[in-house]
């Protein structure tokens, strides 16, 4: 059968000619603009629509296949999806990049420039949201029947500006110019209730709980296609947007309260207005709880509606649906699923509970106490009275089980209770998630161990079979194939292209690590990537990076536990060394990331880095050896340019604090050397790459724990001349620029407040590690060998591996490839005949 062409199928043909036509038609008939008088964004939109057209058939086919085959589906519930841009990824996964490039070139446009028009979809804070996005790519590529469910925030993560070295937040109005990838589904609108109260009535000899007098809002579905590599399976990301329940409250309208009635409508629609910009911090805001419930209620309603169409008995729900909770943010799924099964569908408690536990799985993402969600009982009482009743009953049954399992241990009833007693009673959402699901997983080997040993030891003892590890991963399609075309070509030219869907194939590169010709090619690629990044940064900031220097990069959310301050303190030490005439390898430090708007210390650390940059970069005594830059507004699209250009990957969190990290994996796959602590997935990176191909420093998680009771940061200052000199320089005001006392809170943090993240304990060992990096980098051939071995051993860190393990161990879902390919149809008639 011939491929579809422009003449036969203008919306499906994948040749350059058809794409050209599709583009021209959308420019004119969808956007209503003239080809000769239009702006770049309109052209980007037209091309997006043309690309989207070419996804629609596979999208519909995928849904039909999953339905026809009665396939079990995965539902990935996440309050964050940090998607970044869609255009490049869609085109690459569909295998039409050359055709799109040619089509645009024939019209006189540059594909690389057009795709730069796209606004990042920044519906997440950092690692957790990006993980959800990588998982969507892997699930589609592995042909798994899957839905991502989330919220369609009008404003995603803020845009970071830097003024006088300080972070300023600007609203991220990402939908302003239109989002060409989504399709609104007004027919899929879900009623959601808040408030009111519960009455118990007897009907046919049964007690029925009725939730009455609640206010109603609605969630409207917006769907985005998620195409897997190879262009076969197209899954769905379904995001909910809040609408007011009733257009007008007619009573109030008649009473003349027109404006008040409309204002209520606006209040309801504010529910999905903005993403909370806090990474690993729980705030306890009522609006956030309402977001979580709207999200869970809409998603479960939709999942149960789809199940009911199968006509199966409720006992079969766990065979048809696996629902994964990305952290506790969607943990209201436990009482909501119970409520739906009992109050709406009439099941008894025991059967509903059995189904709920079998259907849900929970992923824990952090051990940090300030991140653990605990909703006040009074807040649930007011907003979700029926859910509170259900949680109390779950807790009652659970504590009875505890009492039976651990007789005579009354203390356990207090420590394990889902309700924390105190001035204000709180619901421990992590405990609720563990009890209400059949699987609890951590996100790296060390994290899972610490989860079991330190965070919830009593739960691990009671339910040993529920706990398991799923080390995080990243999609190589975005972070290597798309982000680093030069390196991808070198790899494919050397070992073939199977690594794109089977990352373990990278192992075949290992024999080339010592090959001088291959090393040269690798180093050349690295240089090209540095030049490309330098061009981007110059365009955005005007700074001119020196691409002949070593690029040392730390990009991630700014947080005390991630220790950007350790990086800054070492830079001051290096500054002193250079001023004293020490010969060092010329370096460019790049540090980027957003701080939560209310996180004062993180924002002060940004200011410190920017002031270091200001002093160092223009000091003629050091500027040839040392530069420091803080590229503003770190986000997925910038990340994609930074990973490929990096020589040294900074992964320097206090051991035991970083659950996994995924930035560390993106660097590794792009041939950067990890300079890191034995924390999170760094441990597994070292295991894979080999100790000799990483530079590891600092205390281990056990050592951190053992030292903590007696830790005295002042000792490290007193007893180490070089550390003392660096801190004295910092606190002398050398980097203050006429703002006296500016960095006093950092002094307090390190001394008076006891340096909780142990910067000073690790600083000497960190400085020594940097010296080792210098030594290694001076031998460029040896350096290239190490970097190549890192790439060759990055196979484990594909999210394809992670997702295969979830599918096998937790979800029990199998690949379900589409049945036939409509794109092969030659004519519309033939396509219709197939349908």
Ligand X SMILES: *Cc1c(COP(=O)(O)O)cnc(C)c1O
CB-CB contact of 605 with 565 (8 Å): yes
User: In angstroms, what is the minimal distance from the CB of 665 to ligand X?
Assistant: 8
Which residue among 52, 101, 556, 603 contacts ligand X (CB under 6 A)?
A: 556
**Binding flag, residue 165, ligand X (CB under 6 A):** no
Residue 198, helix vs strand vs coil: strand
Q: Which is nearer to ligand X, 430 or 636 (CB)?
A: 636
Q: Which is nearer to ligand X, 450 or 483 (CB)?
A: 483
User: In angstroms, what is the minimal distance from the CB of 119 to ligand X?
Assistant: 14
Q: Which is nearer to ligand X, 386 or 447 (CB)?
A: 447
User: In angstroms, what is the minimal distance from the CB of 272 to ligand X?
Assistant: 22
**Binding flag, residue 563, ligand X (CB under 6 A):** no
**Binding flag, residue 663, ligand X (CB under 6 A):** yes
DSSP assigned state of 450: H
Q: Which is nearer to ligand X, 360 or 596 (CB)?
A: 596
Q: Which stretch binds ligand X (CB under 6 A): 63-71, 655-663, 756-764, 800-808?
A: 655-663
User: In angstroms, what is the minimal distance from the CB of 666 to ligand X?
Assistant: 6
User: In angstroms, what is the minimal distance from the CB of 383 to ligand X?
Assistant: 31
**Residue with structure tokens 């798309």?**
482
Residue 396, helix vs strand vs coil: helix
Q: Which is nearer to ligand X, 383 or 665 (CB)?
A: 665
Q: Which stretch binds ligand X (CB under 6 A): 196-204, 289-297, 505-513, 661-669?
A: 661-669
Q: Which stretch binds ligand X (CB under 6 A): 180-188, 199-207, 389-397, 658-666?
A: 658-666
Question: Site residues for ligand X, window 452-491 (CB under 6 A)?
Answer: none
DSSP-assigned states of every residue in 519-587: HHHHHHHHHHHHHHHHHHHHHHH-----TTSEEEEEES---GGGTHHHHHHHHHHHHHHHHTT-----E
- Residue 808, both tokens: 């096998």
Beta bridge partners of 362: 325, 440
User: In angstroms, what is the minimal distance from the CB of 166 to ligand X?
Assistant: 21
Q: Which is nearer to ligand X, 54 or 365 (CB)?
A: 365
User: In angstroms, what is the minimal distance from the CB of 562 to ligand X?
Assistant: 7
**Binding flag, residue 130, ligand X (CB under 6 A):** yes
User: In angstroms, what is the minimal distance from the CB of 6 to ligand X?
Assistant: 37
Q: Which stretch binds ligand X (CB under 6 A): 513-521, 599-607, 659-667, 804-812?
A: 659-667
User: In angstroms, what is the minimal distance from the CB of 131 to ligand X?
Assistant: 8
Q: Which stretch binds ligand X (CB under 6 A): 284-292, 617-625, 633-641, 750-758?
A: 633-641
Q: Which is nearer to ligand X, 336 or 688 (CB)?
A: 688
Q: Which is nearer to ligand X, 607 or 635 (CB)?
A: 635
State how far the alpha carbon of 9 is from the alpha carbons of 5, 664, 813, 821, 831, in Å: 6, 44, 35, 14, 10
State how far the alpha carbon of 177 is from the alpha carbons of 118, 150, 462, 670, in Å: 10, 22, 53, 33
User: In angstroms, what is the minimal distance from the CB of 556 to ligand X?
Assistant: 3
**Binding flag, residue 126, ligand X (CB under 6 A):** yes
Q: Which is nearer to ligand X, 374 or 641 (CB)?
A: 641
Going by C-alpha positions, the residue among 53, 51, 54, 50 that lies closest to residue 27 is 50
State how far the alpha carbon of 159 is from the alpha carbons of 120, 205, 271, 773, in Å: 11, 58, 21, 34
- Residue 467, both tokens: 């706990």
Q: Which is nearer to ligand X, 433 or 662 (CB)?
A: 662
User: In angstroms, what is the minimal distance from the CB of 639 to ligand X?
Assistant: 4
Residue 317, helix vs strand vs coil: helix
For 216, the enclosing helix (H) or strand (E) is: strand 215-227
Question: Site residues for ligand X, window 197-256 (CB under 6 A)?
Answer: none
Q: Which stretch binds ligand X (CB under 6 A): 124-132, 266-274, 371-379, 535-543?
A: 124-132
C-alpha span between 487 and 830 (Å, rounded): 42
Polymer length in residues for the chain: 835
Which residue among 10, 245, 335, 661 contacts ligand X (CB under 6 A)?
A: 661
**Residue with structure tokens 């690949």?**
815
Q: Which stretch binds ligand X (CB under 6 A): 337-345, 371-379, 520-528, 632-640?
A: 632-640
Rounding to the nearest 10 degrees, give the CA dihedral for residues 184, 186, 187, 193. 120
State how far the alpha carbon of 123 is from the alpha carbons of 129, 158, 275, 297, 367, in Å: 7, 10, 7, 19, 23
Q: Which residues have a catalytic role annotated?
A: 365, 556-557, 562, 662, 666
Q: Which stretch binds ligand X (CB under 6 A): 125-133, 333-341, 344-352, 799-807?
A: 125-133
Number of alpha carbons in the 13 Å side-chain half-sphere of residue 268: 24
Between CA 119 and CA 578, with CA 664 as vertex, the angle to 5 degrees is 100
Which residue among 639, 642, 776, 818 contacts ligand X (CB under 6 A)?
A: 639
C-alpha span between 562 and 579 (Å, rounded): 28
**In the complex, which residue's CB is closest to ligand X?**
663
User: In angstroms, what is the minimal distance from the CB of 557 to ligand X?
Assistant: 6
Residue 211, helix vs strand vs coil: strand
Q: Which is nearer to ligand X, 374 or 556 (CB)?
A: 556
C-alpha span between 151 and 135 (Å, rounded): 17
User: In angstroms, what is the minimal distance from the CB of 279 to ligand X?
Assistant: 8
CB-CB contact of 550 with 530 (8 Å): no
Pairing of strands 587-592, 81-84: unpaired
Q: Which stretch binds ligand X (CB under 6 A): 43-51, 301-309, 419-427, 656-664?
A: 656-664
**Residue with structure tokens 């990278």?**
506
**Binding flag, residue 11, ligand X (CB under 6 A):** no
CB-CB contact of 148 with 238 (8 Å): yes
**Binding flag, residue 671, ligand X (CB under 6 A):** no
CB-CB contact of 820 with 61 (8 Å): yes
Using CB under 6 A as the binding criterion, the count of chain residues that bind ligand X stands at 11
Q: Which is nearer to ligand X, 193 or 641 (CB)?
A: 641
**Binding flag, residue 127, ligand X (CB under 6 A):** yes
DSSP assigned state of 3: P
Which residue among 73, 635, 686, 796 contacts ligand X (CB under 6 A)?
A: 635
Which residue among 190, 322, 636, 672 contacts ligand X (CB under 6 A)?
A: 636
**Binding flag, residue 825, ligand X (CB under 6 A):** no
Which residue among 662, 677, 693, 764 contacts ligand X (CB under 6 A)?
A: 662
- Residue 148, both tokens: 């991502």
The interaxial angle of helices 40-68 and 16-25, nearest 10 deg, is 110
DSSP-assigned states of every residue in 659-728: S--SHHHHHHHTTPEEEE-S-TTHHHHHHHH-GGGSEE-S--HHHHHHHGGG--HHHHHHH-HHHHHHHH
Q: Which is nearer to ligand X, 483 or 723 (CB)?
A: 483
Kindly list the residues in this chain that would bind ligand X in the complex (CB under 6 A): 126-127, 130, 556, 635-636, 639, 661-663, 666
């Amino acid at each position: 059968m011939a491929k579809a062409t422009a003449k036969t199928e203008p919306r499906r043909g994948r040749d350059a000619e058809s794409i050209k036509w599709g583009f021209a038609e959308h420019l004119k008939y969808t956007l209503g603009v003239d080809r000769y008088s239009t702006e770049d964004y309109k052209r980007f939109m037209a091309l997006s629509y043309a690309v989207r057209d070419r996804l629609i058939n596979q999208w519909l086919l995928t849904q039909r296949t999953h339905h026809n085959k009665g396939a079990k589906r995965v539902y990935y519930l996440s309050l964050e999806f940090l998607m970044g841009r869609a255009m490049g990824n869609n085109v690459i996964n569909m295998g039409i990049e050359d055709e799109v490039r040619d089509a645009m070139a024939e019209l006189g446009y540059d594909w690389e420039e057009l795709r730069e028009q796209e606004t990042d979809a920044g519906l997440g804070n950092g690692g957790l949201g990006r993980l959800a996005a990588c998982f969507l790519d892997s699930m589609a590529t592995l042909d798994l029947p899957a839905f991502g469910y989330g919220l369609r925030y009008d404003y995603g993560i803020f845009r970071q500006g830097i003024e006088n070295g300080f972070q300023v937040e600007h609203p991220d109005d990402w939908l302003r110019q239109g989002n060409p990838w989504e399709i609104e589904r007004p027919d899929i609108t879900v009623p959601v209730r808040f408030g009111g109260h519960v009455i118990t009535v007897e009907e046919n000899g049964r007690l029925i709980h009725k939730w009455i007098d609640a206010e109603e809002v609605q969630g409207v579905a917006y769907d985005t296609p998620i195409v897997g590599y190879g262009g076969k399976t197209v899954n769905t990301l379904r995001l909910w947007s809040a609408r007011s329940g009733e257009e007008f409250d007619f009573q109030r309208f008649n009473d003349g309260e027109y404006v008040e009635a409309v204002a209520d409508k606006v209040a309801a629609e504010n529910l999905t207005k903005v993403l909370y910009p806090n990474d690993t911090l729980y705030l306890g805001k009522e609006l956030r709880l309402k977001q979580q419930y709207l999200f869970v209620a809409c998603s479960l309603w939709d999942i149960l509606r789809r199940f009911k169409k199968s006509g199966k008995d409720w006992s079969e729900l766990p065979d048809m649906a696996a629902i994964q909770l990305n952290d506790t943010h969607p943990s209201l799924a436990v009482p909501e699923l119970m409520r739906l099964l009992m109050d709406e569908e009439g099941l008894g408690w025991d059967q509903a509970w059995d189904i709920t536990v079998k259907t849900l799985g929970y992923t824990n993402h952090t051990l940090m106490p300030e991140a653990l969600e605990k909703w006040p009982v009074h807040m649930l009482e007011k907003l979700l009275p029926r859910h509170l009743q259900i949680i109390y009953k779950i807790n009652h049954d659970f504590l009875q089980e505890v009492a039976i399992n651990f007789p005579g241990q009354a203390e356990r009833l207090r420590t394990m209770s889902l309700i924390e007693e105190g001035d204000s009673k709180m619901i421990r959402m992590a405990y609720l998630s563990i009890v209400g699901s059949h699987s609890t997983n951590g996100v790296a080997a060390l994290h899972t161990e610490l989860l079991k040993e330190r965070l919830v030891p009593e739960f691990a003892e009671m339910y040993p079979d529920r706990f398991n590890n799923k080390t995080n991963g990243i999609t190589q399609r975005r972070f290597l194939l798309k982000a680093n075309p030069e390196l991808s070509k070198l790899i494919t030219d050397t070992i073939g292209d199977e690594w794109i869907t089977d990352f373990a194939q990278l192992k075949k590169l290992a024999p080339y690590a010592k090959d001088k010709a291959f090393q040269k090619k690798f180093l050349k690629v690295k240089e090209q990537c540095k030049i490309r990044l330098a061009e981007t940064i110059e365009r955005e900031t005007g700074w001119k990076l020196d691409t002949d220097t070593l690029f040392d990069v730390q990009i991630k959310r700014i947080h005390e536990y991630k220790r950007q301050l350790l990086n800054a303190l070492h830079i001051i030490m290096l500054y002193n060394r250079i001023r004293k005439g020490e010969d060092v390898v010329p370096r460019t430090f790049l540090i980027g990331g957003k701080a939560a708007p209310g996180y004062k210390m993180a924002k002060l650390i940004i200011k410190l880095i920017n002031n270091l940059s200001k002093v160092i970069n223009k000091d003629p005594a050091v500027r040839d050896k040392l530069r420091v830059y803080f590229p503003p507004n770190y986000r997925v699209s910038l990340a994609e340019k930074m990973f490929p250009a990096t020589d040294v990957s900074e992964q320097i969190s206090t051991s035991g604090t970083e659950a996994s990290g995924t930035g560390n994996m993106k660097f590794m796959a792009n041939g950067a050397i990890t300079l890191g602590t034995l924390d999170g997935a760094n441990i597994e990176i070292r295991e894979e790459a080999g100790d000799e191909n990483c530079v590891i420093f600092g205390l281990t998680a056990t050592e951190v724990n053992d030292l903590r009771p007696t830790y005295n940061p002042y000792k490290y200052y007193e007893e180490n001349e070089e550390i003392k000199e660096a801190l004295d320089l910092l606190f002398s005001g050398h980097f203050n620029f006429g703002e006296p006392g500016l960095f006093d809170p950092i002094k307090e943090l390190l001394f008076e407040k006891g340096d909780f993240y142990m910067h000073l304990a690790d600083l000497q060992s960190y400085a020594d590690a940097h010296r080792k990096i210098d030594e290694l980098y001076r031998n460029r051939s040896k350096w290239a060998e190490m970097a190549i071995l890192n790439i060759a051993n990055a196979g484990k860190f594909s999210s394809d591996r992670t997702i295969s393990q979830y599918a096998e161990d937790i979800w029990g879902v199998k690949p379900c490839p589409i049945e036939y390919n409509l794109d092969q149809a030659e004519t519309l008639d033939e396509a219709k005949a197939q349908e």
